[in-house]
Amino acid sequence: MAKTRPGVASSAKSKLSKKDIDSYTIKGTTKIVRVGDCVLMRPSDAGKAPYVARVEKIEADARNNVKVHCRWYYRPEESLGGRRQFHGAKELFLSDHYDVQSAHTIEGKCIVHTFKNYTRLENVGVEDYYCRFEYKAATGAFTPDRVAVYCKCEMPYNPDDLMVQCEGCKDWYHPACVGMTIEEAKKLEHFVCVECSSDEDGVKRSQNGFASSPTNDLKVEAKRRKR
């Protein structure tokens, strides 16, 4: 079982000769793992969700014991700062924590999308995750260290949350931040924020300074600005 995940990989090395191999078939399945694939790995604590890792190398020794060199993804709650409001349920951080594990700990495969590609998915499956930050496990530092924000609350985008776009300034808002319920927001055909609706000159202001695309529909994908 994957016992070295929380710390540093074991320094013990096998005396048997090793060779790199192209792929590994997950035990009990027909799923093939190759270098570059993302996998779900069984944790030592049966009560935890599977660990997620990217396979960097696959090797086998003379006895056909297969090991995978992996780079771990961390869930927000595993990071030093913990999970925050803007972290999505399927969000992962690509860490600088490398490890070597038995291939037998691999339970399945998954897909870690870029943030942009994830927000474009029509349907999110159980195997779909996304990553928008790299994470240094020792210091808790993130790359990039500046995040995009939106809405009156100036929070980064959480793709799990419904948002409405103002037809005037093109900014994006959480329904709760503009005094609406989720149910009310879903029924809207048009939305204009308080600032734009109170503009005496009738000029719709781009108060946040970002570019926007013409649209007739309410959208969920945020057009965001840098903090």
DSSP 2-44: B-STTSPPP----SS-EEE-SEEEPTTS--EEETT-EEEE-BS
Amino acid at the residue 28: G
The confidence score (pLDDT) of residue 94 equals: 98
CB-based contacts of 58, cutoff 8 Å, min separation 6: 20, 21, 22, 23, 24, 33, 34, 35, 66, 67, 68, 69, 103
Question: Would the pLDDT of 180 be above 50?
Answer: yes
The confidence score (pLDDT) of residue 4 equals: 55
Question: Would the pLDDT of 220 be above 50?
Answer: no
Q: Helix or strand or coil: residue 131?
A: strand
Q: pLDDT tens for residues 104-137?
A: 999 999 999 999 999 999 999 999 999 999 999 9
Q: What six digits make up the tokens of 183?
A: 């149910």
Question: Would the pLDDT of 195 be above 90?
Answer: no
Q: pLDDT tens for residues 18-68?
A: 899 999 999 999 999 999 999 999 998 888 899 999 999 999 998 889 999
Question: pLDDT exceeding 90 applies to what percent of the chain?
Answer: 65
Task: Name the pLDDT band for 204 (thresholds 50, 70, 90).
Answer: very low
Give 197's DSSP letter.
H
The confidence score (pLDDT) of residue 47 equals: 86
Question: Would the pLDDT of 201 be above 50?
Answer: no
Question: Would the pLDDT of 208 be above 60?
Answer: no
Amino acid at the residue 40: L
- Reply yes or no: is the peptide bond before residue 144 cis, omega within 30 of 0: yes
CB-neighbour burial class of residue 130 (10 A; exposed 0-12, middle 13-18, buried 19+): buried
Q: pLDDT tens for residues 143-167?
A: 998 878 889 999 999 999 999 999 9
Assign 3-class secondary structure to 64-109.
CCEEEEEEEEECHHHCCCCCCCCCCCCEEEEEEEEEEEEHHHEEEE
Amino acid at the residue 219: K
Would you say the C-alpha torsion 93, 96, 97, 101 has a positive or negative sign?
Answer: positive
Q: What six digits make up the tokens of 76?
A: 């927000």
Instruction: Choose between 217 and 69: higher pLDDT.
Output: 69
The confidence score (pLDDT) of residue 206 equals: 35
